[in-house]
Structure 1
Amino acid sequence: MIDWNTIEAADCAVPADRAMDDLVGELSRALTDPDPLVRDGAPYTVLATWIDRGTIGASRRLELGDEMAARFGDPRTEARTFAPLVLDMLVAAGDLRAGWVDAFERWYPAERDLRGHDGTLGWLHAVAHGADLLSRLGRHPEVAPVRMLELAAARLTAPTDHVYDQLEDDRLARAVALVLTRTDLSEADSTGWLEPIAERFGSDRISTPVPAHISNCLRTLRLLHVLADRGVRPTSDLPAEPLHHREAVKSAVADVLDRIVRR
């Protein structure tokens, strides 16, 4: 295996003695490694840099995206949960295939291992990494934003015994808020995705202790209400953007929260 730490230290210079296909293949495999120092270390940085710089050719990037889409079906959690990070890089670089969106849509609400961090495997972050890709796709002109809003609702209403513990609720709320900045959304589009959440959680009496999936949903929607009020920053160095139909979104989110906690 290549010493990716050395490559990273050399400003991610491409080794002259290896074919790019081989290099990308090794990087792709490294991002499935159960050792977090490998999976989340220099290989991740090198791959992200090469994609951003256009070092990897367009056809090989598309092949890499196909690999990541297939990886959503991998039996190992760490392999599945790092796939959306790579797809996010590729979409940011201008690459997109419809099959990637379809694969992500199938995986995101169905993922059962929602741990943010594991003592042995390191960062897993299925919800957070998926949220990053959701926001990227939801702002892409070739992806219907309502599709990503409905996907967020599906993730929030999926049963789980795991309470989000590594700011996954914040990452998902921010992702939804970014999608809601799209000016081609109608008011009905901006609020309609909340109705399945209200129907799912707003009718039955809440048992105590509060089920994990309801707690996750409530905390995500509370931050979304704040972002609807204040705006959301696409990146830390950019000013906050207003949500389209912000007042309608604030009102709809508040109504859903009220229906859930007062039932």
Structure 2
Amino acid sequence: MTDWAQVRADDFAVPTDRPLAELVSELSGLLRSPDPIERDSIAYSTLATWIGRGVLSGDQLRELGDEMARRFGDSELQARTFAPLILDCIVSAGVYEASWVPPFERWYVAESDLRGYDAKLGWLHAVAHGADLLGTLGLYPAVEPVEMLRLGIGRLLTPTEYVLREMEDDRLGYALAATLTRSELTVEDATEWLVPAFTGIVPPAATISPVNTNTTRTLRALYVFVDRGVRLPDASEATQIPHRAEIKAQLVEVLRLVTRSYF
């Protein structure tokens, strides 16, 4: 077995004593590990660095992407939640397969364990890691941006008893904002994905539901991005979102359902 701690210490230099395919296979296996050091500090960090540096060929990236798409049905939570991170790296490197999207969409709205962090498993971040991939797909020319916008609101409105923590809502707000920068979106495209929130959010009674809390926090973050602009990957300045006035007006109407006495 490769000394991966030494690989990390050597600035992720690729070992020369084993075929690259074997190394990638071993790292992929470590992505399922319940040990956060093996999974996050070693497997994810190494694969992300190698993908970013162009170490893996296009065919190797597709093979790895296929494996990550299958991971969305894995029995282990940490395996499911780290799959979108690797797919995010792969798509960001310019390799994309349409077959990866449906498994991701099914998992993202259905995942029930939304813990950001666990004392034994470390970072899990289902919503945040999924949001990272959602935002990358939302910017990818071959993906319909409305599909990603609908996926985002679908995730928020899926019943849960868990209130998001560790900046999960901000990560999803950023992903939605990035998707909204797509120039082909019409006014209707940019606003109508929010329509399900008008029935999915229940006006508060004695308590505020986790769905209401998660949705309003995320949409408040999105409002700021729409108002101020969003800095896309590798950009030095913020990109302004088209149809700003119309999107903000729609967001206000959704937020008014929960905070109607505030404005």
Per the normalisation by structure 1, the TM-score is: 0.96
Counterpart code for 2:164: Y
Retained in 1: the 8 A contact 2:203–2:257? no
The Cα of 1:82 is off from its aligned counterpart by 0.3
Retained in 2: the 8 A contact 1:198–1:260? no
The Cα of 1:26 is off from its aligned counterpart by 0.4
Counterpart code for 1:142: A
The Cα of 1:234 is off from its aligned counterpart by 1.5
Counterpart code for 2:24: V
The Cα of 1:259 is off from its aligned counterpart by 2.8
The Cα of 1:58 is off from its aligned counterpart by 1.3
* Corresponding residue for residue 218 of structure 1: 216
* Corresponding residue for residue 33 of structure 2: 33
The CA RMSD measured in Å over matched residues stands at 1.4
Q: Does 1:158 align with 2:158?
A: yes
The Cα of 1:235 is off from its aligned counterpart by 4.0
Retained in 2: the 8 A contact 1:68–1:84? yes
The Cα of 1:31 is off from its aligned counterpart by 1.1
Identity between Structure 1 and Structure 2 (%): 50
Retained in 2: the 8 A contact 1:66–1:100? yes
Q: Where does structure 1 lack aligned partners over 5 or more consecutive residues?
A: none
State how 1:158-197 maps to structure 2 within 5 Å: 158-197=158-197
The Cα of 1:11 is off from its aligned counterpart by 2.4
State how 1:97-176 maps to structure 2 within 5 Å: 97-176=97-176
Q: Aligned partners of 1:208, 1:90: CA distance in 2, in Å?
A: 46
Q: Does 1:247 align with 2:242?
A: no
Moved more, 13-22 or 148-157: 13-22
Counterpart code for 1:140: Y
The Cα of 1:52 is off from its aligned counterpart by 1.3
For the residue of structure 1 that corresponds to 2:109, the secondary structure is: coil
The Cα of 1:246 is off from its aligned counterpart by 0.9
* Corresponding residue for residue 256 of structure 2: 258
The Cα of 1:43 is off from its aligned counterpart by 2.3
For the residue of structure 1 that corresponds to 2:163, the secondary structure is: coil
Per the normalisation by structure 2, the TM-score is: 0.96
* Distance verdict in 2 for CA 1:237–1:58, change over 3 Å: closer
Size of the aligned set, in residue pairs, is 261
* Distance verdict in 2 for CA 1:169–1:158, change over 3 Å: same
Q: Deviations for 1:132-159, whole angstroms, at most 9, x for unmatched residues?
A: 0000000000000000000001001000
Q: Aligned partners of 2:177, 2:222: CA distance in 1, in Å?
A: 6
For the residue of structure 2 that corresponds to 1:108, the secondary structure is: helix
The Cα of 1:57 is off from its aligned counterpart by 1.6
Q: Aligned partners of 1:29, 1:130: CA distance in 2, in Å?
A: 20
State how 1:201-212 maps to structure 2 within 5 Å: 201=201, 204-212=202-210
Q: Aligned partners of 1:174, 1:126: CA distance in 2, in Å?
A: 15
